[in-house]
């Protein structure tokens, strides 16, 4: 039979073991709580990043006739690094003025009928400064947007209209077609649908975006369902965007000159705004 002293020693040892076990359990519990908290923070942070990216993209294209956003940026407005690699000289044609345009005729005062697109693919050319781009306009899959572009182009509406916005980070586009040159202008009417012939391929950068491929010509809009006017954008590098912009054509040759223009950067050293090298639309001929 154990003595009282040995019983006391056994009891103390048991209590010590119990306390050590409880301390270990508490430590493990604290670690698990911290892990779950860190995971929640990481998930919330990821969601915020995605929402901010999409929100900024929407703000960039979320304007049309009668509306404008204040210096939006699809991926921030950080200044260019002072030690950045020197930019290559732009294509020589970008430094030359647009060719002389023909006489302008009365532009449409309402959205042209889809019959203007003739249910066919149109081929032709478009000038940015003195750089000639070969283009196709798809009257089969985007009859509303194609008819509008064709009618405006044939009237000379786009002649000598500046390309007022360039984006060089996150999304890669040159936006043109505003006769006011500040993002607020248009033909005096709006039309839809805004997502005619929109891409369906999900962007690898965002499951809620699709890829607007290099060379695409698409209409800008101010949200809703029928807010397109005359503004359009040229995609010079694959870009993730919501499937909310009508694709009415493609640049089939000459896109390298737009990439050359983009390489000159944006006014003020940001990634979204007026191009450093002024860009103006010249004659658009379609057949």
Residue 32 falls within a domain, yes or no?
no
Residue 217 falls within a domain, yes or no?
yes
Cβ proximity of 177 and 161 under 8 Å: yes
Residue 45 falls within a domain, yes or no?
no
DSSP string computed for 181-221: SSS---SS--B--TTTT---SEETTEEEEEEE-TTEEEE-B
| pLDDT tens digits for range 235-244 | 999 999 999 9
Residue 35 falls within a domain, yes or no?
no
Whether 65 has a pLDDT exceeding 50, the answer reads no
Q: How confident is the model at residue 63, as a pLDDT?
A: 52
* Over residues 39-52, mean pLDDT: 49
| pLDDT tens digits for range 193-217 | 999 999 999 999 999 999 999 999 9
| pLDDT tens digits for range 254-270 | 999 999 999 999 999 99
Q: Which residues contact 8 (CB under 8 A, 6 or more apart)?
A: none
CA 178 – CA 230 distance, rounded (Å): 7
Q: Which residues contact 236 (CB under 8 A, 6 or more apart)?
A: 172, 173, 174, 214, 215, 255, 258, 259, 262
Residue 178 falls within a domain, yes or no?
yes
Residue 13 falls within a domain, yes or no?
no
Residue 159 falls within a domain, yes or no?
yes
Q: How confident is the model at residue 9, as a pLDDT?
A: 46
| pLDDT tens digits for range 94-121 | 999 999 988 899 999 999 999 999 999 9
Strand positions, DSSP E, the chain: 121-128, 131-138, 165-169, 171-176, 202-203, 206-212, 216-219, 232-235, 239-241, 247-253, 272-273, 281-286
- How many structural domains comprise the chain? 1
Question: Tokens 């050590």 identify what position?
Answer: 20
Alpha helices in 62-169 (DSSP H): 143-155
Q: What is the pTM of this model?
A: 0.73
CA-closest candidate to residue 221, choices 265, 249, 190: 190
CA distances from 96 to 93, 126, 166, 251, 262 (A): 5, 15, 19, 21, 16
Q: How many residues does the chain have?
A: 287
Residue 48 falls within a domain, yes or no?
no
Burial of 164 (0-12, 13-18, 19+ CB in 10 A): buried
Q: How confident is the model at residue 43, as a pLDDT?
A: 52
Cβ proximity of 176 and 152 under 8 Å: no
Residue 148: give the domain boundaries.
62-70+89-286
* Over residues 226-250, mean pLDDT: 97
Q: How confident is the model at residue 165, as a pLDDT?
A: 97
30-34, 35-39, 86-90: range with highest mean pLDDT = 86-90
CATH of the domain at 157: 2.40.100.10
């Amino acid at each position: 039979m154990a003595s009282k002293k040995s019983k006391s020693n056994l009891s103390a040892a048991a209590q010590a073991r119990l306390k050590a076990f409880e301390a270990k359990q508490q430590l493990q519990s604290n670690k698990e709580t911290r892990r779950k908290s860190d995971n929640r923070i990481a998930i919330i942070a990821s969601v915020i990043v995605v929402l901010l990216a999409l929100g900024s993209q929407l703000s960039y294209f979320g304007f049309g006739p009668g509306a404008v956003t204040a210096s939006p940026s699809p991926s921030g407005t950080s200044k260019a690094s002072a030690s950045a690699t020197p930019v290559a000289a732009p294509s020589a044609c970008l430094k030359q003025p647009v060719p002389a345009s023909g006489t302008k005729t009365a532009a449409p005062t309402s959205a042209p009928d889809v019959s203007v697109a003739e249910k066919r693919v149109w081929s032709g050319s478009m000038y940015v400064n003195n750089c000639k781009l070969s283009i196709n306009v798809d009257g089969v899959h985007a009859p509303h947007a194609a008819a509008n572009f064709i009618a405006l182009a044939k009237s000379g509406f786009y002649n000598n209209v500046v390309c007022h916005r360039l984006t060089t980070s996150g999304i890669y586009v040159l936006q043109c077609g505003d006769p006011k040159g500040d993002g607020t202008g248009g033909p005096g009417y709006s039309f839809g649908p805004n997502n005619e012939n929109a891409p369906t391929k999900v962007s690898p950068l965002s499951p809620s975006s699709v890829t607007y491929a290099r060379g695409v010509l698409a209409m800008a809009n101010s949200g809703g369902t029928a807010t397109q006017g005359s503004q359009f954008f040229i995609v010079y590098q694959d870009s993730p965007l919501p499937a909310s912009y009508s694709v009415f054509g493609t640049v089939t040759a000459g896109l390298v000159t737009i990439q050359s223009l983009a390489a000159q950067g944006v006014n003020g050293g940001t990634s979204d705004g007026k191009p450093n090298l002024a860009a103006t639309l010249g004659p658009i001929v379609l057949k």
